[in-house]
Amino acid sequence: MKKLIKELRQLLKIGIPIFGSQISYMGMGVTDTIVAGQASALDLSGLAIGNALTMPIYFLFGGCLFAVTPIVAQLFGARKYEEIGEKVRQILWLSLVIGITGFFAYRNLSAVIPFFDIDPEITIISDGYLKAMSYGFFANMVFTCLRCYSEGMGLTLPVFWIAFVGMLLNIPLDIIFVYGYFGIPPMGGVGCGIATSINVIVGMLVLILVILKKKDYAPTKLFSKFSKPSKQTTLEAVKLGFPIGFGLFVELSMFSGAALIIGSLGASVVGAHTVAINIASVFFMLPLSIGLAAATRVGNLVGESDLTQAQYAAYVTVFVCFLGACFNTLCILLLRENLVALYSSDVEVMAIAVNLLLFAAIFQIPDGLQMGALGSLRGYKDTFAPMLMLIVTYWLLALPVGYVLVYRGILGNALGAPGIWIGMIAGLVAFSALILPRLRYTSKKFILKASPKPLLP
């Protein structure tokens, strides 16, 4: 019990500020959804389609930068502080390249919308939102790199405060740009994109200032000198980070694909699906934060060569994520009607969303389990195999099954929106069944590899 309590303290010390940060990031999305939803169902749907396209691209491009957390975590555990600064300076070059690429990608994402049967009025709002978001993408990549650097050293509290203040700032910015104040014309859902871009630029500048001023960052000497791009470091980041990013792209494309699949069912269904996904995502922040903390905690222990404790930390992470997911399921089931009322006043949207939250409550369990295992594996720098598992379970199982259930159903009875949620649950269960044995295999492999070989007689 003492060992468990000690590990929980270490995990929560890292994880609680990450939880606060993730809630803050999600709070920005919730604010966007509420403000746009109160404007009109069309604005809410336009925002939903825009997010369905931007989020997978963000994680696909920015995923390479998530490699910074395990890279820094292992170096920090090994006390190689100045090497941390050198690595991060070199990876910042990569963030600049990704930022420029993403800027142009966001501005052209609307080209894929005509391939789906989506209302032209919704398409116009989505296109404007995508272009507005493009202006903040560059700053977002730099911020992501520096955030992962800070979290990799266990310095999660400064990032939390920046995210929290950003969430508060996002409220007046959304209201100003969506509804139009101080001489600014009302922009509807497009205004949410402008508010987000302003917010992320401010966040990047503040984080740079904190790193320059706070003594905890001084040993790494991050901004003490200039470093040229390094082919070796870039390849290391891409090799480790691309599977993370592509895995996240696969995961988010499942949710985005779900929104696009039901796009032809009408604005009310799309809006209700968006509300249900948003609520489920807010609750998922708990196991997500613990999983992200595990990447740092396990990475630190691997860097210290304390591999038995690293394995124990990984198992504790999965257990805590499971408990958190059970708590989330209970809360969603008990509060679903009240939660939906926060997002929309449209009677039809509310009725559909309340029904969909039954499915959202169910998939909290497998989603929580997989996040605990996935986060721990990142601490071991094991990212390629999980990516393959995500491709198989989400793209080859969840989306095809969901599509069939939405439009054909069982025995010819189309299920509509609930069908895509059943498909997503199937994908999450399958992925959990694969990723948990992978964690057990990887942690044991590290321990056996480090064990001294017996002497020959």
Over residues 144-164, the pLDDT tens digits come to 999 999 999 989 899 999 999
Q: Is residue 430 part of a domain?
A: yes
Which tokens sit at 4?
Answer: 């468990």
Portion of the chain with pLDDT greater than 70, in percent: 97
The pLDDT-based confidence of 455 (bands split at 50, 70, 90) is: very low
Domain range spanning residue 265? 2-448
65 falls within a domain: yes
Q: Is residue 454 part of a domain?
A: no
pLDDT tens digits, one per residue of 6-50: 888 888 888 889 888 888 887 887 788 788 777 777 777 778 777
Q: What is the DSSP string of 345-413?
A: --HHHHHHHHHHHHHHHHTHHHHHHHHHHHHHHHHTT--HHHHHHHIIIIIIIIHHHHHHHHHT-BTTB
Compare 342 and 159 and report the one with higher pLDDT.
159
82 in Cβ contact with 225 (< 8 Å)? no
How far, CA to CA in Å, does 48 sit from each of 51, 73, 276? 5, 35, 12
The pair of structure tokens assigned to 167 is 């969430």
Give Cβ neighbours of residue 449 (< 8 Å, ≥ 6 apart): none
Residue 257 within a domain:
yes
Indicate whether 455 belongs to any domain. Answer: no
CA 22 to CA 164: how far, in whole Å?
9
- Helices 231-261 + 81-108 axis angle, to 10: 40
First to last CA, the chain: 41
Using CA atoms, how far apart are residues 56 and 111, in angstroms rounded to an integer? 15
Report the domain count for the chain. Answer: 1
pLDDT at 52 over 60: yes
Report yes or no: 150 and 159 within 8 Å, Cβ to Cβ: yes
296 has pLDDT over 80: yes
For the beta carbon of residue 22, count every other beta carbon within 10 angstroms. 21
Would you say residue 75 has pLDDT above 80? yes
pLDDT grade, residue 456 (50/70/90)? very low
Tokens (6 digits) for 113: 């919308």
The one-letter code for the residue type at 240 is: L
Mean pLDDT along residues 50-75: 83
Residue 453 belongs to some domain of the structure? no
Give dist(CA 195, CA 168) in Å, integer. Answer: 12
Say what the pLDDT of residue 453 is: 54
Residue 375 lies in a domain: yes
- Greatest C-alpha distance within the chain: 87
Q: Is 221 left (phi over 0), alpha (psi -120 to 50) or beta?
A: left
Summarised one tens digit per residue, pLDDT across range 247-278 is 878 887 787 788 778 877 777 888 888 888 87
205-254 residue pLDDT tens: 999 999 999 999 999 989 888 888 888 888 988 888 889 888 878 887 78
Considering only 155-164, 276-285, 302-311, 325-334, which range has the smallest mean pLDDT?
276-285
Q: Say what the pLDDT of residue 72 is.
A: 92
Given a cut of 50, whether residue 315 has pLDDT beyond it is yes
